Structure 1
C-alpha cells in the first residue's frame, strides 16, 4: 500500500513525531486519495516522491517547524529539501519534494507538467474544501475514514490557516481565509461529515 523504501519509512517517522493525530491522518489520506485519483486517470507518477511530499506537505504548520516569516508551504518545502538530502537523495530529487509542497498551495498544475504536484493539489483540495468530490465515491470515503479517522481535521486546519493568515498577511493561507471563504468551504465539505457509522 505504501512505498517500502528507507525514505518513505523516515517520512512517516517524521510525520508521526511532529504532526497532530488529525494532521497525520490527513497526510496519509492525501497520499491515498492522490494515488487513487492518479490510477483512475492513468497518471504516471513517482510513488516514493509523492509519498514523502504528501507526508511532509503540512510540516510547516507544526509547532516545531512553523516559520515566523515564511509561508508554511515554503518552510515545509525547505524542510523536505533537508530531509531528502539527509535521506541520500540527489539534490535535484530533494528539490522536487520541496517544489511539490510549495505548489500544493499555488494555482493548479496540470498532470502532464507535474504529476506529483497535480495529485497533491487534488488530494489536499478534496480534503480541506471538498473540491473534486465527484472523483471519490461514498464507499471509498467510508472505508478511508474508518481506517484513518477525521479526528476534527477540518476545525484544526481552519485554525492553523487562520493563525498563519494573521501573522503572514501576504501568504496563500491569508488569501484562502480572507478571499476564498475557507471557513464556509470547510464547514460545507462533505468529507468532514462523512463519518463511518
Structure 2
C-alpha cells in the first residue's frame, strides 16, 4: 500500500532518487509506528503549506518529516545530544550525498532539531515551519479542525495510527530520552519523563540560577 499510493489527500509523495532513498532508509531503520507517523507528518505539513499558500519545497519537507524521529533509534542516537539533534545530524549526513545548497540542508536540520521547541518554528522558513505543523497535528491534534474529514481519513487509511498510537508515540519518545535525561532540560520531553519514569527528577531553571557559583 505504501508504494502504491502516489498521491494521498491531494498531496503527491516525492519520488525522486533522494526521496526514495530516504523512504527506504527510514522504513528499514524505524519502527512501523514511527515510519507511518513520519509519513503523516509530511502529508499534514504539506496540506498546511497548501492551505497557507506557502512556497515550500516538497522534497525538503519530506526529508525533514521522514528523519525527524530518527534520533530515537539506537543506530543514530548519541550519548549526550537531544534526540532531535541526533535526527537532524542523521539527515545532514544523508543529504551530503546529494547536490543541495547549504541553506537547504540547514533548513532541513533546523526543521528536525526544532520540532519539539514550540513558539519558534512557525517564524522560520517553510520547511521548518511545516515539519513542526505536521508533528503538532499528528501528535497533539493542533489545527485538527483545519483539515477535512476526508483528508484525515485518507491519510490515516494509507498510514494508519493504530488503536494505541498515543501510548505508542509516548513510549517511542521515552526510548529516545530515558538514557539521557539531561537532554530534557528546557523542552517538552521533561513532561514525558515525569510521566513515564518514576526515577526522573526534573531540573529547575530557577534552582540552577540561584545555586550557581555567582555570588549575586
Deviation at 1:57, TM superposition (A): 0.7
Change (3 A) 1:163 1:12: closer
| Structure 2 stretches lacking a partner, 5+ long | 1-11, 197-216
Superposed counterparts of 1:22-101, under 5 Å: 22-101=33-112
**Which residue of 139, 144, 168 corresponds with 1:156?**
168
Against the structure 1 CA distance between its residues 3 and 20, is the aligned structure 2 distance closer, same or farther, given a 3 Å change threshold? same
Answer with 73-82 or 105-114: which moved more.
Answer: 105-114
Residues 71 and 77, structure 2, Cα contact 8 Å, conserved in 1: yes
Residue 118 of structure 1: SS of its match in structure 2?
A: helix
Structure with the bigger percentage of helix: 1
Q: RMSD of aligned C-alpha atoms?
A: 2.1
Q: CA deviation at 1:63?
A: 2.6
Q: Helix, strand or coil for the counterpart of 1:116?
A: helix
TM-score, structure 1 as length reference: 0.82
Deviation at 1:156, TM superposition (A): 2.0
Which shifted more, 90-99 or 128-137? 90-99
Separation in 2, partners of 1:110, 1:125 = 11
Residue 132 (structure 2) pairs with residue 121 (structure 1): yes
Structure 1 segment 133-172 matched on structure 2, within 5 A: 133-151=144-162, 152-166=164-178, 167-171=180-184, 172=187
Instruction: Look up the match of 1:175.
Output: 190
Take 1:62 and 1:110, find their aligned partners in 2: how far apart are those partners? Answer: 24
Shifted more, 32-41 versus 112-121: the winner is 112-121
Conserved? CA contact 2:115–2:121, under 8 Å: no
Q: Which has the larger radius of gyration?
A: 2
> 5+ residue gaps in structure 1?
183-197
Secondary structure of 1:45's counterpart equals: coil
User: What TM-score do the two structures reach when normalised by structure 2?
Assistant: 0.75
Q: Retained in 2: the 8 A contact 1:164–1:174?
A: no
SS of the equivalent of 1:169 reads helix
CA displacement at 1:112 relative to structure 2:
6.0
Aligned to 1:193: none
